[in-house]
Amino acid sequence: MIRHRFGRAARSAGALTVLVASLVAVVGAGLSAGAGAALRTAQQHAADEAADRRMDLVREAVAAETTRYVDTLRVVAAAAGAADALTHAGFTRTVRPLEQMRLAGATSIAFMVPATDEQIPRVQELWRGRGVPDLVLDTADTRHEHEHEHIFSVFSHSLDGVTTPAIGIDLTRAPAPAQALVEARRSGQVTVSDPYRLIRDAHLPVRQRQLSFVLTAPVYGPAPAAGTPRPFRGWMLMGLRGQDFVGATLHRLTRDAADVRLRAHHSDGTDVTVATLRAAAGRRPLHRTGQVRVAQRQWILDLDVVGARPPGAGGVLPAAVAGSGIALSALLAVSILTLTGGRARARVAEATAELSAAEESARRRATLLSAVLDSVGEGVGVVDEHGAFLLHNPAAKTLLGIEPDSDRISSWQSHYGIFTPDGAAPFPTGRLPLVRALAGEHVEQVPMMIRNAARPDGVIISVSARPLDLAAGQPGAVAVFHDVTARARADARLAEAAVALQDELARHEADQADLRAARDELAAQKAYLTQLLDAINVSVITCDTDGALVHANRIARAALPYDGKPLTIGEATLQLRMTYPDGTPIPVEEAPMARALRGERVDDLEAVVTGPDGVERVIMLHARPLRHPDGHITGGVVSSFTITALREREAELTAFAGVVAHDLKRPLSAVRGFTDLVHENLSDQAGQEENVRHLDRALAATKRMSRLIDDLLAYATARDATLTPVTVGLNKLVREVVDEHLTAAAADPSMSASQVYIGPLPAVCADLPLIRQLLDNLIGNAIKYTPPGRAAHVDITAAPTGDGRIRVEIADRGIGIPPGEHQAIFTGFHRVATAYSGTGLGLAICKRVVERHGGTITATDNPGGGARFAFTLPAGVPGRPKHSGGPGDAQAK
């Protein structure tokens, strides 16, 4: 019995000893492996970050360079479209600045035009006449989807000094460029083609062959009218060699530290390698892939980093740390088994003593292991298969700041305050490293933020987790985490500094490129504008703030007393003997350029000048100040054109109208008088009804003729009569005119009763007879041009404009003005309502009257139907003689 009891006790002691030794070995091995893994993961994480930064730099460099090419081609296409008739010389001037832009890989640039089979002879003749006399549009062996469509190169210019310009080629023979041209025309944007191999590269050695691609931009001419689409003229096409482009762009960035491969996603769904950049020999453990935009497509960029290992990475330190810990755990377990195993089998007393000694030894070794874990700077945490924490070393407690008293996995996030690295959102429980390790996953270097009451500012930690080996007898997981806040912030600052440095270098290079491009563009624009100004038949002169002539176009140079020596606008004004139309000399200080330099705008100033040939000419001048973006005046510009012939024709027409009016007035009055007499005699006689109707028609005809003569006289008078401005009370004058028209309308049984509203009307300073004629025409039209059977509704209002003028509006609900006729109705003899009688001179007279008073007149649609006429007149001047606008005054002239 006693032996049995001793045997059972010995077996129990032995089992306990094995359990303690196993637990020590498993825990020690787990902690040691976790520490080694954490150190290895930190080293790998640093290498990954370095590879990511290099990938970002390479991708940004390729994107910036491709954007520069796309923008360059877009600007060239816009410049070509701005030309009225693009010629070979103009094309060469436009593209020649590209030679100085160092466009790596660019071979040539060409201007392409479309043509159908029927159009080929005409298109060929057109471009021969524009500077390519030997042009032959070759369509031999063309294969394309639409056999009647061709795309020909008519201008071409080499950019690399090697490529021979080719013209007359039908590009539909090459599917890739042809598809890009079609897409550019469809989208209206710069497009890139699929990469393809040039025929001339076939004879080169394999290593020297490279794929090429084209960038193409549509060319649109100026819109023929506002609101109309711009006409399509053709394409600008730039050819590029992929390997040369990538090599020049990325060699300085990679510096033999990485392999770079640029791939294009082909239209058929395959990926084609455009170019590669191979670094020196060495390991390439890290690979990165990203996308970069090239025109309308996303190309793929592959990066393989050579020897991607940060300082200290890849050494034996992680393995040494893990191995030392495991060896120490194993030694401790073996010692426990060795010291307790033999004596337990001898006798119970000795077993008990040995067990006590082994327990003491295990306690010392456990204390040693605990001291080792306590001395480790990284936090260590161990959980069982249910998520209950078995171990948290002091470093873990310090990092977390919260005691590990939460055994429910679902409460870990809220208990410890676990957030995403940026602190913006709670970290998903299912993605926590320990949760993933419990599922059997090995997790490396997961960043997260711990923010709780003990860590209010938040601390960033990096966590690695592994599942525990089931052979150790304890399922669960172990996590190793360490504080990376300082490193994360330092990396962030370093990354910001690197980005800032890179941005500064890029800005510096971009600024230099922009300056060169701006210089070349300004030179091209200057040459273009000079040609444009010399081509128009309008004189254009610019000067600086001192009045010194800066530029004069061809017409201006011919009209000025200009011999190439410095000339001021004052000298030019005196030498041209500039006068007003009445012969009064225009003072130098009132010359259009002098007024523009004072900030004034000059419009429609008519003057008479005497040119170097001694011939007097009538010109119309416009002047504007030139201003800096900050608003101060930097000079002035004056434009003018000759209206001598126009004024001569107008004078002849006016004289003719006056002669005709005066010569016809008297005989017409006699005809009307005799016709009235005969009409009166026959009206009382029976059987003369037919003759009376004929006489009525004759009287109506003489009345229309008399009205036409009166309008002709008024039209001539409105331009040439001497003005006598007086203060005119519009209120009374308007009411008199309205009463006259209402009385006349009431006598016509076919017209309904008219409704006229007259608002408060101020006084104006104007010539009374002319203003009465103006109001009579506009009010009469408002009442007259009303649909049959409908009463006329007219509103007459006025208000000051704030610049010393009065704006008068006359709105009606009549037949309105047809679209597009709002300006044409003010020209002489223009009528838009053929169902109503009239001479077509009424509104032309109104325009002359208003313009003689320095005002403007406009016609617009009246909301709700009808027309609205508005004109401006000078406001009444206090102290000037007043006229109320009585009937007698209307006949004063």
Q: What is the pLDDT of residue 36?
A: 56
- Helices and strands counted in the chain (H then E): 20, 28
Looking at the fold, whether 151 and 209 belong to one and the same domain comes out as: yes
- 46, two tokens: 């640093």
Beta-bridge partners for 620: 606, 641
Looking at the fold, whether 182 and 140 belong to one and the same domain comes out as: yes
Residue pair 236/111 in contact (Cβ under 8 Å)? The answer is yes
Q: What is the pLDDT of residue 385?
A: 81
User: What span, in angstroms and rounded, lies between the C-alpha atoms of 151 and 153?
Assistant: 7
Looking at the fold, whether 619 and 655 belong to one and the same domain comes out as: no
CATH assignment at residue 72: 3.30.450.350
Name the band, by pLDDT with cuts 50, 70 and 90, for residue 182.
very high
Q: What is the pLDDT of residue 128?
A: 92
What average pLDDT is seen over the chain? 78
Q: What is the pLDDT of residue 684?
A: 77
Biggest CA–CA distance in the chain, Å, is 174
Q: What is the pLDDT of residue 286?
A: 79
For 270, the 3-state DSSP assignment is coil
In a domain, 37, yes or no: no
In a domain, 658, yes or no: yes
**Contact residues for 19 (Cβ-Cβ < 8 A; gap 6+):** none
Percentage of the chain exceeding pLDDT 70:
75
Q: What is the pLDDT of residue 764?
A: 93
Q: What is the pLDDT of residue 522?
A: 78
| Of the residues 617, 642, 667, the one at which a domain ends | 642
Q: What is the pLDDT of residue 40?
A: 62
User: What span, in angstroms and rounded, lies between the C-alpha atoms of 445 and 460?
Assistant: 12
- Position with higher pLDDT, 788 vs 470: 788
Mean pLDDT, range 34-63, rounded to an integer: 71
Full strand arrangement of the beta sheet holding 805-812: 755-758, 793-800, 805-812, 867-874, 857-861
Residues 655-673: pLDDT tens digits? 776 676 667 767 777 777 7
For 405, the 3-state DSSP assignment is coil
Q: What is the pLDDT of residue 23?
A: 65
- Position with higher pLDDT, 693 vs 374: 693
Q: Closest Cα partner for 466 from 380, 389, 407?
A: 380
Q: How far is CA 464 from CA 48, 373, 486, in A?
A: 16, 16, 18
Half-sphere exposure of 821 (CA within 13 A, CB side): 12
Evaluate if residue 893 carries a pLDDT over 70. no
Evaluate if residue 348 carries a pLDDT over 50. no
In a domain, 39, yes or no: no
The reported pTM is: 0.37
For 452, the 3-state DSSP assignment is coil
Q: What is the pLDDT of residue 721?
A: 63
CATH assignment at residue 807: 3.30.565.10
Q: What is the pLDDT of residue 389?
A: 79
Name the band, by pLDDT with cuts 50, 70 and 90, for residue 363.
low
Residues 186-241: pLDDT tens digits? 998 999 999 988 766 656 676 667 888 999 999 998 877 767 788 999 999 999 88
Residues 316-329: pLDDT tens digits? 445 555 555 566 66
Beta-bridge partners for 157: 109
In a domain, 288, yes or no: no
Half-sphere exposure of 549 (CA within 13 A, CB side): 22
Looking at the fold, whether 672 and 819 belong to one and the same domain comes out as: no
Which range of residues forms the domain containing residue 695?
648-702
Which residue stretches of 576-724 are H helix? 592-597, 644-683, 689-720
| Of the residues 240, 274, 295, the one at which a domain ends | 240
Residues 719-769: pLDDT tens digits? 666 678 889 999 999 999 898 888 877 777 667 778 889 999 999 999 888
In a domain, 256, yes or no: no
Looking at the fold, whether 447 and 567 belong to one and the same domain comes out as: no
Evaluate if residue 153 carries a pLDDT over 60. yes
Evaluate if residue 792 carries a pLDDT over 90. no
| Of the residues 450, 483, 516, the one at which a domain ends | 483
Looking at the fold, whether 621 and 666 belong to one and the same domain comes out as: no
Looking at the fold, whether 99 and 236 belong to one and the same domain comes out as: yes
If one counts the domains in the chain, the total is 5
Evaluate if residue 346 carries a pLDDT over 60. no
**Contact residues for 371 (Cβ-Cβ < 8 A; gap 6+):** none
Residue pair 625/633 in contact (Cβ under 8 Å)? The answer is yes
CATH assignment at residue 439: 3.30.450.20
Percentage of the chain exceeding pLDDT 90:
14
Q: What is the pLDDT of residue 2?
A: 37
In a domain, 745, yes or no: yes
Q: Closest Cα partner for 182 from 70, 306, 267?
A: 267
User: What span, in angstroms and rounded, lies between the C-alpha atoms of 858 and 822?
Assistant: 8
Evaluate if residue 699 carries a pLDDT over 90. no
Beta-bridge partners for 238: 109, 215
Looking at the fold, whether 614 and 754 belong to one and the same domain comes out as: no
Looking at the fold, whether 698 and 781 belong to one and the same domain comes out as: no
Beta-bridge partners for 462: 447, 482
In a domain, 685, yes or no: yes
Looking at the fold, whether 411 and 550 belong to one and the same domain comes out as: no
Of 14-28, 541-555, 602-616, 761-775, which gets the smallest average pLDDT? 14-28
- Position with higher pLDDT, 472 vs 56: 56
How far is CA 662 from its chain centroid? 64
Q: What is the pLDDT of residue 315?
A: 46
Residue pair 284/261 in contact (Cβ under 8 Å)? The answer is no
> Highest mean pLDDT: which of 105-114, 472-481, 491-500?
105-114
- 415, two tokens: 């208990």
Residues 806-844: pLDDT tens digits? 999 999 988 888 888 888 888 766 665 544 555 667 888
Q: What is the pLDDT of residue 892?
A: 33
Looking at the fold, whether 143 and 181 belong to one and the same domain comes out as: yes
Q: What is the pLDDT of residue 35?
A: 57
Q: What is the pLDDT of residue 3?
A: 43
Looking at the fold, whether 637 and 656 belong to one and the same domain comes out as: no
Q: What is the pLDDT of residue 313?
A: 43
Q: What is the pLDDT of residue 144?
A: 43
Q: What is the pLDDT of residue 269?
A: 75
739-751 core/surface letters (b: 16 or more CB in 10 A; e: else): eebbeebeeeeeb
In a domain, 339, yes or no: no
Evaluate if residue 541 carries a pLDDT over 60. yes
How far is CA 113 from its chain centroid? 27
